[in-house]
Amino acid sequence: MTPSDAHPHRRADTDAGRTQATFAATLVDEWARAGVTDAVVSPGSRSTPLALALAADDRLRLHIRVDERSAGFFALGVARRSGRVPVVLTTSGTAAAELHPAVAEADLAGVPMLVCTADRPPELQEVAAPQTMRQAGLYGSAVRWAADLGVPEPGQGVFWRSLAARAVAEAASGPSGPGPVHLNLAFRDPLVAEAGPLPPARVDGPWHRVVRGVSAPSPEAVRDLAGRAGTRGVIVAGGGAGDPEAVHALAAALGWPVLADPRSAARTPHRATVAAADAILRAPATRDRLHPQTVIHLGERWASRVLSEWLARPGIEHLVVDPDWRWRDPQRLADTVVCADPTELCHAVAREVTHTVPSAWCEAWADAESAAQSAIGEVLDGYGELTEPGVARQLWSALLPHTTLVVGSSMPIRHLEWFAAPRHRPPSVLSNRGVNGIDGVVSTALGAAAVSTDPVVALVGDLTFLHDAGALLGAAEAGLSCTFVVVDNNGGGIFSFLPPARELPAATFEALFGTPQSADIPAIAAAYGAVVRTADDRRAFDATLAELVGKQGVSVIHVRTDREANVAVHERVHAAVAAALEGLTS
């Protein structure tokens, strides 16, 4: 009698462990064949088979994040910066639930992500086993596709490879565009075992090679837009607007301005570029005079409420370019939805326009932009101390080309959107504007840094930083390089611009909305191993950026501001812009 015959349960356990290890190794092999290069793992027991397989494959970079919530946003940053599908793995139970905020952001922002949650086997479900809950369908409609898998069984090799290839394809290029995919993976003890031979793979790539063609615009749509050349129209460009040169080729052909969000990469010094749209449209002198007949929406929406309200005025025809059928039209303005790749549409319309006529309409916008930028610069340059709009404007101007700028929601993204002037070769701007939350931004920036050879800088507020400061744990030891500019106004600065600031008693407003914090941000950052500097004026800020940006390690530049003073700065800027624009019409 052999030892294995003497212990039949041990042999069965060994066979089950080997099958699970082979299953996990097959998934990882297929993912690598499909182009996956990065995996983010939060340590846990039940996920052991897949964690070991990910660690053993040298085609993948492995990123260890202790906190699962941080791991999800870290993977989001990896995907945003690289454009590839990352794997993020957690153990079972609440660890899986911690990924939900990042999954929701990836869904609404169209960011590819392969979410793998380990689970207990069927015999441990619904019997109060520890670290066990219902994980099938955990993320609901937030995923592009989901599969709840039983414990792997021998002889499923083709199924495993097909599953792995489909998961990457669904995340990268499903019918609704890129987004998160969820695989819920059940494992039994023993969780540590040697993998057997992997099932045969395709020689030249993944098991399924999915080919998705570019969505070409219809000839009717192209002719319709080309026929509007020389009329009163505007192009509103946000993140995902397509190739910026194609956007400007369309603008030149039609004789229309481009209202360019920094995330669009189109905020460059073309005559048609309008960066100060928020300030321009606050001014009575231009709000009515620059009323368009047609608006083409490319990519994501601006954060500006002023722009949104102006666009909702009657008498405007709206064309929304929506390549992935995501229906990005929160105000229900769209008269026509064009299901086409934005770059292809821009090029096609520009080719269709046979001649371009001089556009007084576009020149009026260009004059307004020039006057507004001069007024903004004059006001902000007149402050000796750093202001919140000034920090955003100065940072945008100072960063070298190829820098990635990760911007927090709330006021930082608005300050960049409203006050950053057009520039040559602008930095690439990433911002979690799917759900628009302030959570996970530190992790997102570190994830972007993990896959970038160029500098990564993050502009965040104090609450955003404190919300995710734990993401700095181990970042320096992992060799990550990222500079955080933390604008600290001791609370939620955006609420100072909203009705509660005017309508509530000061104490109530501070408690519920201002939310002042006693945390020492420089001390917290230093405790996590970051290099910390403070900057009080423009010269010190420039010098500190030059010292830290692009250097190895994690660093924090702390800028102290005041919420009430920030409101006053905005009022001064808007008054100056309004006066400058009034001068254009007098």
The pLDDT tens digits for 262-301 are 999 999 999 999 999 999 999 988 988 999 999 999 999 9
Rounded to the nearest 10 degrees, the angle between the axes of helix 360-381 and helix 563-585 is: 140
Which residues fall within 8 angstroms of residue 127, CB to CB, at 6 or more apart? none
Domain range 388-560, its CATH number among 3.30.420.40, 3.40.50.970, 3.40.630.10, 3.60.150.10: 3.40.50.970
Question: How high is the pLDDT of residue 157?
Answer: 86
CATH fold group of domain 219-365: Rossmann fold (3.40.50)
With cut-offs at 50, 70 and 90, classify the pLDDT of residue 134. Answer: confident
Question: What tens digit of pLDDT does each residue of 384-425 get?
Answer: 899 999 999 999 999 999 999 999 998 999 999 999 999 999
**Does domain 3-186 fall into CATH 3.40.50.970?**
yes
Give me the residue spans of the domains in the chain.
Answer: 3-186, 219-365, 388-560
Question: How high is the pLDDT of residue 5?
Answer: 46
* 534 φ/ψ angles, rounded to the nearest 5 degrees: -115, 150
Question: What tens digit of pLDDT does each residue of 227-273 get?
Answer: 999 999 999 999 999 999 999 999 999 999 999 999 999 999 999 99
- Looking at the chain, the whole-number percentage of residues with pLDDT higher than 90 is 77
In degrees, rounded to 5, the angle at the alpha carbon of residue 552 between the alpha carbons of residues 547 and 557 is: 45
Is the pLDDT at 6 greater than 90, yes or no? no
Please check whether the two domains, 3-186 and 219-365, share a CATH topology. yes
Which residues fall within 8 angstroms of residue 155, CB to CB, at 6 or more apart? none
- 512: which 2 tokens? 């519920």
- 342: which 2 tokens? 């934005």
Beta bridge partner(s), residue 64: 41
Contact between 462 and 89 under an 8 Å Cβ cutoff? The reply is: no
Query: Is 84 in a helix, a strand, or coil?
Result: coil
Question: What tens digit of pLDDT does each residue of 177-229 get?
Answer: 999 999 999 999 999 999 999 999 998 888 888 877 778 899 999 999 999 99
When the pLDDT of each residue in the chain is averaged and rounded to a whole number, the result is 92
Beta bridge partner(s), residue 457: 405, 483
Question: How high is the pLDDT of residue 4?
Answer: 42
- 373: which 2 tokens? 């930028």
**C-alpha to C-alpha distances, 463 to 352, 438, 494, 554, nearest whole angstrom:** 49, 8, 11, 19
CA distance 177 to 170: 8
